[in-house]
Amino acid sequence: MTEGRDLCDRSASELAELLRRGEASSVEVTRACLARMDALEPRLNAYLTRTDDLALEQAARADERIASGDAPAVAGIPLALKDVLSTRGVRTTCGSRILETYVPPFDCTPWARLSEAGSVLLGKTNCDEFAMGSSNENSAFGPVRNPWDLDRVPGGSSGGSAAAVAAGEAVWALGTDTGGSVRQPAALCGVVGLKPTYGLVSRYGLIAFASSLDTVGTFTRSVRDAAVLLQAIAGKDPMDATSLPDPVPDYLAALTGEVRGLRVGVITEAFGEGVQPAVAAGVRAAVDRLADLGADVGEVSLPHTDYALSAYYLIAPSEASSNLARYDGVRYGLRVEGRDSVEMMARTRGAGFGPEVKRRIMLGTYALSAGYYEAYYGQAQKVRTLIIRDYDAAFARYDVLVSPTSPTTAFRLGEKVDDPLAMYLSDVFTIPANLAGVPAISVPVGLDETGLPIGLQLTAPVLREDLLLRVADALERELALDLRCPAIAGQGQSGA
Amino acid sequence: MAGGYETVIGLECHVELSTATKMFCGCRNEFGAPPNTNVCPVCLGLPGSLPVPNERAIEYIVRIGLALDCEIAPRSVFHRKNYFYPDMPKNFQISQYDLPVCVNGHLDIEVDGEVRRVGITRVHMEEDTGKTTHGSASGRIHEADYALVDYNRAGVPLVEIVSEPDIRTPEEAGAYLRELRATLEALGVSDVRMEEGSLRCDANISTRRVGEEGFGVKVEIKNLNSIRSLERALRYEQERQRAALEAGETLVQETRHFDEDRGTTHTLRSKEEAFDYRYFPEPDLPPLEPDRAWVEALRASLPELPAAKRARYERELGLRPEPAVLLASSTVQAAFFEEAVALGADPVAAANWITQDLAGMLNKAKVELAEAKVTPRHVADVVRLVADGTISATGAKQALEVALETGEEIEAIVEARGLRQVTDTAALAAWVDEVIASNPGPVEQYRAGKQGVLGFLVGQVMKRSGGSADPRAVNELLRERLSGG
């Protein structure tokens, strides 16, 4: 499907085949990605740290392994990691001044598994500071630009990973999704974004934003690639007490292309006020195609969706206020000296955190304080239970649920920075899945009138990633979109 | 009015568990290692690290709960206790809040021969913090110009045991802490060394009028580094509170620091300065739901606890309460005692030898019983040889002292040092005559009717015999010679 394109613009599955047949090498693919970065980074700012030398070294080793005939599916395919995922010996900043110089002494489990399997690390991608944001404008190191329109945001918080995959600066990438931070940027950048069930992928080494909501997710050019990448990182990790013990199924086997008789519930609340008409139309058109393929389509209500956003903005900041307490200048990262340790901590945090992080720390500290806990945190946990029940009821009638991923396509840089509430609304459809811990995927289903990608979100019950992938793959095949963002258009055979 | 006040005391004790590794990571849990050598990303709270509970620590806290007759919660939850302090790597402590592992237990203590029951409110699991050392040219904390933090202790499993306010006197508080220490020692879950901080205690104390149901204003006392300082601090605070109330002053709820050197307490912080810990459930850890069958198996495998041991010693072995309490409060001493009894020693005599003479010798030599060369066999032999008149008590003491030093067998020591008691009248008579001859003054006094001088003369004979004479025989012989004169 992507033949004739630069190596760095092809799908991982296609590249794996080329590598296996010896028609391309990992070093060549890696060089193509690095060349694309050279060309586009001055404009995109998707990477915070490049690891060119490491990547070429790993690529050379992967080539030897592939030549020996027994390499895992991810071997030799260049990858980008969101800069909240710890990498041993490679600076990991969380998009924050406070960790600008921090170099972890250990790998996060997802990267440890990929690295073991011969993956190639291109670098660490830009993101909203500590994954707090929906536009990537909260990075301390400047915003990422959307490769579909450089005046627009790539979404957030994993904006760098989404933009890199869309622009051929990486073949695939990992991000993190706490309230939509994989799915929303995937939608805004026209790539596939998968947020797995909470606990399916280890959080060990994922620098926490909100521990009970954080998940590691994938950015890929195809649903098939998502299945392959998820396969490589999923499964119980003894280092994460919340990781699930369940055996991991064969995700590729789920890609049957068959959706006949599958019950698809369209979420009523997701087509109301505030949804861009082109987005609603694009998603509905895609649902019609699923019906054409034999899916059994109906409407379903998630009545507590309205409260999800409020509950999220109490739970996530509460946990964040505690998770981010460790950045105090005592052991690592930025330190601003003071007369005593209290002043040193206060000055370090004052200088090291950006305004959105401070806003959420204050919000969370307040919500947990004596006398307010029950009214805020306690109440939000009750809403969370109601949302889980909404899903339980919906999944009693439907196999998967459908909504737009984001109410709008990519918005302009600066458009919402002064209005946090408007910014928070862009995650209104993605947040409920995090609160309930269920898996969801965003797949591109077309372009709006200005040529910006539209994302459709599918949600499935806990640990039914197989269903998500099956439906998303069938839809992808049926739509057969040939998405190519304008930023790439001028690149020609740059990797050659 | 005298006796019009009643003191109400509750204790919060922290116990470091003696597990091989820390609470949430695989680092070694040991005291005294070079600073920052037993650390890893988890106990240093590095970004992205996650806690995984130590199963052995959970087993230990359940054993503690069972020993204190607590209910073991079918579901308990870890909470985060949030506050900023440089020796806390995450600036929150993983602890427990409203759903601890153990609740509603009790500990029976014995004070002046009377048994009192002290309620246990809760026993919960948490992690210890690191240790800060302030440094400056002058060595004074408030002039410190740098601080060094050692994170070896950070993440060591810590159990907090909170008593009900059932304690009424400083002596009862001391007895509670001794009993708790003995119980934990018997369970083998902690080193319980207050001087190394593996057992720490804070006291809550208030004063009310006798007969009153409600509580007075509560004061928390910190920095209690031994059972002795606990009792001293409480005695001081009890008097301070009573004096204040009698003078018509109002007490304030506060935390006070015990000054070991002065024996007084002073204000550390008031209620208004208390922290808001912003407790919330630890999202990185699932709830603890101990398997009931496992809990019952642990209950069945509990060792004999000090209270039961004490009762058995008194009931079955005929010990008086005092030696029974002493022996039962130390696992090592109790085992030593029971082995001596098993070797045939009379229990009452063996108990006295172990808790008095031997304890004194060990103390003087600064040797722990567990590491000493003296064995239960030595004690059993001493008891037997004294009983059958082979050696005198004085000779026995000497023999035991030698055994402690060299580990030689008692009988060999007795022979080598000539400690065998001399009852042979001819030999005794010679010593008696010498003493009478060389002490004309006392002899004269005795004959004038001053019976008390006899003891002095017996002592002189014993001295001359090098402790080998049988004091009873000497006594008789002296009386005989002096009256016959």
Residue B217 makes CB contacts below 8 A (sequence gap 6+) with B206, B250, B251, B252, B253
Closest CA to B30 of B228, B175, B193: B193
Residues B465 and B377 in one domain: no
> Which pLDDT score is estimated for B137?
64
A203 vs B50, B280, B286: nearest CB: B50
Placement of tokens 């002494």 in the chain: A105
Residues B77 and B197 in one domain: yes
Least confident residue range of A65-69, A301-305, B3-7, B63-67: B3-7
Q: Which residues span the domain enclosing B93?
A: 2-297
B483 cis-preceded (ω within 30 degrees of 0):
no
Residues B443 and B327 in one domain: no
Q: CB distance A86–B48 less than 8 Å?
A: yes
**Is the pTM here over 0.80, yes or no?**
yes
Is some CB atom of chain A closer than 8 A to the CB atom of B226?
no
CB pairs under 8 A between A and B: 98
- For the segment A202-209, the average pLDDT, to the nearest whole number, is 98
Closest CA to A127 of A117, A137, A118: A137
Q: How many domains does chain B contain in total?
A: 3
Residues B390 and B334 in one domain: yes
Computed from CA positions of residues A44, A207, A424, B92, in that sequence, does the dihedral angle turn out positive or negative? negative
Average pLDDT, chain B: 92
Q: Could you report the per-residue pLDDT of B142-160, keeping only the tens digit for each?
A: 666 788 999 999 999 999 9
> Which pLDDT score is estimated for A7?
95
Residue type, A479: L
In sequence order, what E strands does A408-461 have? 440-447, 453-459
Residues B190 and B46 in one domain: yes
Is some CB atom of chain A closer than 8 A to the CB atom of B130?
no
Residues B258 and B237 in one domain: yes
Closest CA to B220 of B236, B204, B242: B204
B284 vs A94, A108, A242: nearest CB: A242
Q: Say if CB B83 and CB B91 are below 8 A apart.
A: yes
Residues B278 and B354 in one domain: no
Residue A78 makes CB contacts below 8 A (sequence gap 6+) with A8, A26, A29, A30, A33, A55, A59, A120, A121, A122, A170, A171
Q: Say if CB B48 and CB B183 are below 8 A apart.
A: no
DSSP A7: G
> Which pLDDT score is estimated for B393?
85
- For this structure, is A358 an active site residue? no
Q: CB distance B48–A108 less than 8 Å?
A: yes
Q: Which of B80, B92, B136, B278 is best to mutate for the A interface (most A CBs within 10 A)?
A: B278
> Which pLDDT score is estimated for A494?
43
Q: Which of A91, A331, A377 is best to mutate for the B interface (most B CBs within 10 A)?
A: A331
Is some CB atom of chain A closer than 8 A to the CB atom of B147?
yes
> Which pLDDT score is estimated for B140?
61
CB contacts of A365 in chain B (<8 Å) are 278
Q: Which of A13, A26, A82, A442 is catalytic?
A: A82
Q: Which of A11, A134, A139, A181 is catalytic?
A: A181
> Which pLDDT score is estimated for A490?
63
Residues B257 and B389 in one domain: no
- For this structure, is A181 an active site residue? yes
Residue A45 makes CB contacts below 8 A (sequence gap 6+) with A126, A141, A142, A143, A144, A145, A160
B283 vs A211, A239, A370: nearest CB: A211
Residues B404 and B446 in one domain: no
Q: Could you report the per-residue pLDDT of B215-267, keeping only the tens digit for each?
A: 999 999 998 999 999 999 999 999 999 999 999 999 999 999 999 999 999 99
- For this structure, is A86 an active site residue? no
Helix A223-233 × helix A109-116 angle, to 10°: 100
Strands B92-96 and B131-135: unpaired
Separation between Cα atoms, residue A212 and residue A37, nearest integer Å = 35
Farthest-apart Cα atoms in chain B, separation: 97
CA distances, B409 to each of B49, B346, B367, B400 (Å):
58, 19, 19, 9
State the DSSP H helix or E strand holding residue B484, giving kind and residue range, or none if neither. Answer: helix B471-484
Query: For domain A8-261+410-488, which CATH number applies: 3.40.47.10, 3.90.1300.10, 1.10.357.10, 3.40.190.10?
Result: 3.90.1300.10
The 3-state DSSP class for residue B162 equals: strand
Domain holding B466: CATH number?
1.10.10.410
Q: Which of A157, A202, A321, A406 is catalytic?
A: A157
CB contacts of B285 in chain A (<8 Å) are 241-242
Band (A491; pLDDT cuts 50, 70, 90):
low
Give the domain ranges of chain A.
8-261+410-488, 306-378
Residues B139 and B181 in one domain: yes
The 3-state DSSP class for residue B327 equals: helix
